[in-house]
Amino acid sequence: MELSQLRTLLAVIDHGSFEAAADELHLTQSAISQRIRALETSVGQVLVHRSRPAGVTEAGGTYLRLARQMTALADQAQHDVGAAGPVPRLSIAVNSDSLGSWVLPALAPLAGEIAFDLHREDEAHSIALLREGTVMAAITTSGRPVQGCTAHRLGALRYRPMTARPESFPDGPTPEALRRNPVVVFDRKDDLQDAYLRAHHVDPAVPPRHHVPASADFASAVRLGMGWGMLPESEPGDGLTPLDDRSVDVTLYWQQWSLATRALERTGEAVRRAAATHLR
């Protein structure tokens, strides 16, 4: 296989189609197709699902990881010898609450030397992106290293159940009040509110729910009284009242590929340093 074929595989998957990959690499769509076919012929298996967006097969996931590794090492080598080449590109999965509060400030000083490809993903599900090769590093709730990765505990992000309408809970978060009052949920992977409901012996399917998949808008929806929700402790509490004194600590870990590139190491150091300040 050739490095150009691996770069093409990356472009197809990262940009979602053969057409978009052609634009990214300044090639014709026919050239992109030929490179992918040549790569598949050399390994004897189909690697790319011809769908929209394009995806990888199980075998393709293995070669996607290889493509990221080889590309990162090649870019690092070019940088080390002063050769002209692309800015190192680093794909990272980050949960929305961390991304909007402390991760972006941590990455900003590196923005001139590293091109970041950030994937917003729930911390309980980001491990899948790391395992399949979509990202090279991730903030996750799993402390067990993915094969070929290292894991570092970052700290805990504390959440509290908040409401803008405390009058709707005159006796506190009783099962009856929780069944009656609407709840704001980030997206369909967000289990924080459902876990709180289950702890109060309430079926999560019973209360009305609003899905608001953006951190700032999620907090705004709670402040506007659309429903109660679990907000990070760092979120300003103006106009909000906690349902009770309980809190939930979500422990976060930084997992990154065991690959000696300057971009990956510097990013990991920046994230760990910021986490030491912002997390418990």
Torsion of CA 206, 211, 215, 216, to 10 degrees: -110
Task: Return the bridge partners of 230, or none.
Answer: 161
> In terms of C-beta density within 10 A (0-12 exposed, 13-18 middle, 19 or more buried), how is residue 267 classed?
buried
Farthest CA pair distance, the chain: 68
Q: What is the pLDDT of residues 124-170, one digit of tens each?
A: 788 888 888 889 999 999 999 988 899 999 999 999 999 999 999 99
Domains 1-86 and 92-280 in one fold:
no
Res 84: pLDDT: 67
Res 274: pLDDT: 96
The CA distance from 42 to 239, in Å, is 62
> In terms of C-beta density within 10 A (0-12 exposed, 13-18 middle, 19 or more buried), how is residue 90 classed?
buried
206-210 contact pairs (CB < 8 A, 24+):
206/179, 207/178, 207/179, 207/180, 207/181, 207/182, 207/183, 208/182, 208/183, 209/182, 209/183, 209/184, 209/185, 210/182, 210/183, 210/184, 210/185
The CA distance from 242 to 110, in Å, is 37
Res 205: pLDDT: 95
The CA distance from 93 to 112, in Å, is 20
The CA distance from 150 to 28, in Å, is 39
Q: Which CATH number fits domain 92-280: 3.40.190.290, 3.40.50.11540, 3.40.50.280, 3.40.980.10?
A: 3.40.190.290
Inter-CA distances, 182 with 1, 170, 190, 191, Å: 55, 15, 15, 15
Tokens 């005159």: give the residue.
170
Res 68: pLDDT: 87
Low-confidence stretches of the chain (pLDDT beneath 70): 83-85
The pair of structure tokens assigned to 48 is 């790319």
Res 89: pLDDT: 85
Res 156: pLDDT: 95
Q: What is the pLDDT of residues 163-199, one digit of tens each?
A: 999 999 999 999 999 999 999 999 888 899 999 999 9
Write down the domain spans for the chain.
1-86, 92-280
The end-to-end CA distance of the chain, in Å, is 46
Q: Could you say which DSSP state residue 167 is in? A: G
Q: Does domain 1-86 have CATH number 3.40.50.620?
A: no
Res 213: pLDDT: 87
pTM above 0.75?
A: yes
The CA distance from 45 to 58, in Å, is 10
User: What is the amino acid identity at position 11?
Assistant: A
